[in-house]
Amino acid sequence: MKFDAIIIGTGQAGPSLAASMAKNDWKVAIIEKGNLGGTCVNVGCTPTKAYVASARRAYIAKNSAELGIEVNGDIKVNLKTIKERKDKMITDSRNGLEKMLENNKNIQLIRGKASFLNKHAVEVEGTTYEADKIYINVGGKPRIPDGFNEVDYLTNESILELEEIPEHLIIVGGGYIGLEFGQMFRRFGSKVTMLDRGDQLLKKEDSEFGKTIEEIFKDEGIDVRLNSECISAKNKEGKIEVSVSCEGDKLNIQGSHLLVAAGRIPNTSNMGLENTDVSLDDRGYIKVNDQLQTSVSNIWALGDCNGKGAFTHTAFNDFQIVNSHLFEDKKRKLSDRFTCYAAFIDPPLARVGLNAKEIQKAGIKAKVASRPMEKIARAKEMGETLGMLKIYIEENTKKILGATFLGTGADEYIHTVIDQMYAGQQFTVIRDAVHIHPTVSELIPTMLENPKSIEE
């Protein structure tokens, strides 16, 4: 069966690309071996942020006395109800996507696992499909380190199927997935122990942010153990026992459940790429150029499998890049993109561009503008004063190099800085802007009035 294009995977990039191709009268095959929607819809953004919202409601209900709100009686968290709400949101998204794909006369939805026969053909359930152009959008999956073969561990996917709150949840990994689930289940009522091999949480961030998040978590009753090495687990007396060397001490920690949140790997194995000349890096990610083209000229890789973002918004931008070279006058490039993301803990951490340690490593002469949340009027009025704001400015060009915000609403007002960076203007444009009072955002111009040397 011959098509103008084959798309493998229905994550954030694939269906959008299929719809655009169909609009331009291409005949498209889109292949999916699992549930429609990819990580974001099924086990990522949609379900986890629904759980985060429930966890915050529980936290507010239990911690509003200082603001004069007294709740009489117990606060009960019903995980089964939370799961049912999540499941409905996922089902609605899947059904909408299925309807869009199946009702388009130019798109054929094919169910099953795709395997490359050569650079122009794939096989699905014994049937061969051919196309001049093939687009890989296969996403990623949890990475499971050695040492966990003997226990029934949870991943970010399977933990969303629980209907009873864990008595004691042990989490291996201090990245954004581990942090979100750790705080979430602590607020649901679980005892939570977090183990991470590094010397700070969120190892990619500047140490002061990792330290502040650690303090926030400890204040909520989460047991954070850093410098945890040689982690392994086994079943013991009806519980899961995790053995860990932590700052020189050998510990055995028993819990009812174990979540392994030790990063993710691409879904690029066992799909026949050895039958093409598509090049992978040493971690299994597909190598791409500035237009997301692989080492084979008629094959492209979009989304998590190319290692260039691993977020829903970067996957969608991958679609925009590829689509622009197919159908638009203005051509987009991967190098146009500023790295940006958030950890949806409470308060959230949001980041764009470079941070202090990256600037110093690159030898860039820069200044930093900062403000603690405890000095922002709106944060004090809301009773949410944890965190800090930092913006980094290149001295020579006066352009913004990046920003890291940790504080209430940070995942929203970071876009003030993101938009300024894309505009390519000097930081003085924001500094001289008039923002609405009372907001957290209004302090961004104020903090930019007197940036200091990053070494100070």
Looking up residue 328, the CATH number of its domain turns out to be 3.50.50.60
Q: Give the pLDDT confidence score for residue 345 in this predicted structure.
A: 98
Domain assignment present for residue 178? The answer is yes
Domain assignment present for residue 290? The answer is yes
Mean pLDDT, the chain, rounded, equals 96
Cβ burial of 138 (10 Å; 0-12, 13-18, 19+) is buried
238 and 282 in a single domain? The answer is no
Q: Give the pLDDT confidence score for residue 246 in this predicted structure.
A: 62
Domain assignment present for residue 151? The answer is no
pLDDT digits (tens, 9 = 90+) for 70-84: 999 889 999 999 999
167 and 29 in a single domain? The answer is no
Report residue 149 as tokens: 């073969």
Lowest mean pLDDT across 122-136, 219-233, 410-424:
219-233
Q: Give the pLDDT confidence score for residue 31 in this predicted structure.
A: 98
Residue 425's domain comprises: 340-453
Domain assignment present for residue 20? The answer is yes
Q: Give the pLDDT confidence score for residue 426 in this predicted structure.
A: 97
Domain assignment present for residue 445? The answer is yes
130 and 270 in a single domain? The answer is yes
R_g (Cα) of the chain, nearest Å: 24
Q: How far apart are CA 301 and CA 215, in angstroms?
A: 40
Report residue 363 as tokens: 């030898």
List the Cα angle 318/398/437 in 5-degree steps. Answer: 85
pLDDT digits (tens, 9 = 90+) for 39-54: 999 999 999 999 999 9
Q: Give the pLDDT confidence score for residue 249 in this predicted structure.
A: 73
Residue 133, strand partner residues = 5
Cβ burial of 72 (10 Å; 0-12, 13-18, 19+) is exposed
CATH number at residue 436: 3.30.390.30
Closest by CA to 388, choosing from 347, 338, 434, 340, is: 347
CB 12 within 8 A of CB 38: yes
Q: How far is CA 272 from CA 112, 269, 423, in A?
A: 14, 8, 42
Which percentage of the chain shows pLDDT scores above 70?
A: 99
- Domain tally, the chain: 3
Count other Cβ atoms within 10 Å, centred on residue 368. Answer: 20
Tell which of 299, 314, 336 closes a domain: 336
Order of all β-strands in the sheet with 191-195? 223-225, 191-195, 168-172, 257-260
Find the mean pLDDT for residues 387-408.
98
223 and 365 in a single domain? The answer is no
CB 444 within 8 A of CB 416: yes
CB 286 within 8 A of CB 270: no
Domain assignment present for residue 153? The answer is no
| pLDDT category of residue 237 using cuts at 50, 70 and 90 | confident
Q: How far apart are CA 146 and CA 237, in angstroms?
A: 22
Cβ burial of 125 (10 Å; 0-12, 13-18, 19+) is exposed
Main-chain phi, psi angles of 203, to 5 degrees: -60, -20
Cis peptide before 438 (omega within 30 of 0): yes
325 and 377 in a single domain? The answer is no
274 and 135 in a single domain? The answer is yes
Q: Which helix (H) or strand (E) holds 81?
A: helix 79-102
Closest by CA to 51, choosing from 81, 13, 94, is: 81
The residues carrying an active-site annotation are 437
CB 303 within 8 A of CB 11: yes
CB 420 within 8 A of CB 397: no
16 and 78 in a single domain? The answer is yes
Q: Which helix (H) or strand (E) holds 50?
A: helix 45-62
Q: Give the pLDDT confidence score for residue 229 in this predicted structure.
A: 84
Query: Helix 176-188 crosses helix 45-62 at what angle (to 10 degrees)?
Result: 40
Q: How far apart are CA 198 and CA 175, in angstroms?
A: 10
Main-chain phi, psi angles of 72, to 5 degrees: -95, 135
Q: Does pLDDT of 332 surpass 90?
A: yes
Count other Cβ atoms within 10 Å, centred on residue 410. Answer: 23
54 and 114 in a single domain? The answer is yes
| pLDDT category of residue 454 using cuts at 50, 70 and 90 | confident
71 and 126 in a single domain? The answer is yes
Q: How far apart are CA 311 and CA 287, in angstroms?
A: 17
Domain assignment present for residue 150? The answer is no
| pLDDT category of residue 367 using cuts at 50, 70 and 90 | very high
Main-chain phi, psi angles of 366, to 5 degrees: -145, 165
Domain assignment present for residue 162? The answer is yes
Q: Give the pLDDT confidence score for residue 456 in this predicted structure.
A: 57
Q: Does pLDDT of 247 surpass 90?
A: no
Q: DSSP for 99-162?
A: HHHHT-TTEEEEES-EEEEETTEEEETTEEEEEEEEEE---EEE---TT-TTS--B-TTGGGG-
Tell which of 230, 262, 294 closes a domain: 262
Q: How far apart are CA 161 and CA 427, in angstroms?
A: 46
pLDDT digits (tens, 9 = 90+) for 113-166: 999 999 999 999 999 999 999 999 999 999 999 889 889 999 999 999 999 999
| pLDDT category of residue 206 using cuts at 50, 70 and 90 | very high
Tell which of 312, 336, 360 closes a domain: 336
287 and 249 in a single domain? The answer is no
| pLDDT category of residue 248 using cuts at 50, 70 and 90 | low
11 and 136 in a single domain? The answer is yes
Find the mean pLDDT for residues 354-366.
96
Main-chain phi, psi angles of 122, to 5 degrees: -130, 155
439 and 345 in a single domain? The answer is yes
